[in-house]
């Protein structure tokens, strides 16, 4: 793996000058059109798989691309959603799951998480995802099924956020569910997201 400071140096020498005009524009402009909610997994890079430029995606990444249902109180995910929808007026929100997700694998295969209490607690936001998944037990098929159902369940959670509910009522925002397949690069769009 390349050293991070080598990467920064390469960015400043090669990448930044090539996009200098864009960065000058972005210095005072923040108008992303899409809120992209993906997994923290290092292999799922939103800007890469959508070929987006800086300034185009407002990104939230959480373990398992989970979006807790709205509850009053300080919450980083909820605050970022509200900012994207109510202030930046994004036109679409994508919730993107992915193949071989560690969080979904732990749930589908019933891993022992007693030594990881924070993860165990966080993954309760996928209880409805598990409840709606017909395929159970260990194995790739069960993980894939849970990944899909989890995207659908998180879209439902997203709609409980007042800013999102308001935008949906005005038909000002579209919700989309995706599953990204790491080995092939395919992106499947879920129906009736």
Q: Under rule CB under 5 A, how many of the chain's residues touch Zn ion?
A: 3
149 contributes a contact to Zn ion by CB under 5 A? no
Cβ at position 65, least distance to Zn ion in Å: 6
In angstroms, the CA 163 to CA 64 distance is 22
144 contributes a contact to Zn ion by CB under 5 A? no
Q: From the list 34, 35, 41, 125, which residue makes contact with Zn ion (rule: CB under 5 A)?
A: 41
**SS3 state of residue 39:** strand
**Bridge partners of 51?**
none
96, 98, 125, 161: which is the annotated catalytic residue? Answer: 98
What is the CA angle 41-101-138, rounded to 5? 160
Query: The tokens of 79 are what?
Result: 């605050």
96, 101, 125, 161: which is the annotated catalytic residue? Answer: 101
**Bridge partners of 60?**
37
Is 166 labeled as catalytic in the residue annotation? Answer: no
Only one of the segments 33-41, 120-128, 146-154, 181-189 lies at the binding site for Zn ion (rule: CB under 5 A); that segment is: 33-41
Where in 49-78 is the site for Zn ion (CB under 5 A)? none
Find where tokens 């995606």 sit: 57
**Bridge partners of 182?**
none
In angstroms, the CA 190 to CA 188 distance is 6
10, 30, 31, 43: which is the annotated catalytic residue? Answer: 43
In angstroms, the CA 37 to CA 86 distance is 16
- DSSP letter assigned to residue 52: P
Cβ at position 98, least distance to Zn ion in Å: 6
101 contributes a contact to Zn ion by CB under 5 A? yes
Residue closer to Zn ion, measured from CB, 81 or 179: 179
Residues that bind Zn ion (CB under 5 A): 39, 41, 101
Active-site amino acid positions: 39, 41, 43, 98, 101
């Amino acid at each position: 793996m390349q050293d991070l400071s080598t990467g920064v140096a390469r960015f400043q020498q090669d990448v930044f000058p090539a996009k200098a005009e864009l960065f000058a524009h972005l210095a005072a402009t923040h108008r992303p059109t899409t809120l992209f909610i993906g997994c923290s997994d290092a292999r799922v890079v939103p800007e890469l798989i959508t070929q987006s430029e800086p300034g185009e995606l407002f990104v939230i990444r959480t373990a398992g691309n989970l979006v807790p249902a709205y509850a009053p109180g300080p919450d980083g995910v909820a605050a970022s959603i509200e900012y994207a929808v109510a202030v930046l007026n994004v036109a679409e929100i994508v919730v993107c799951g992915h193949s071989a997700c560690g969080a979904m694998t732990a749930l589908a295969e019933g891993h022992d998480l007693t030594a990881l209490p924070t993860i165990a607690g966080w993954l309760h936001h996928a209880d409805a995802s598990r409840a709606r998944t017909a395929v159970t037990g260990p194995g790739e098929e069960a993980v894939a099924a849970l990944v899909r159902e989890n995207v659908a369940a998180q879209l439902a959670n997203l709609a409980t956020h007042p800013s999102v509910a308001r935008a949906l009522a005005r038909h000002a925002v579209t919700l989309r569910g995706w599953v990204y397949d790491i080995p092939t690069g395919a992106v499947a769009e879920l129906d009736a997201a």
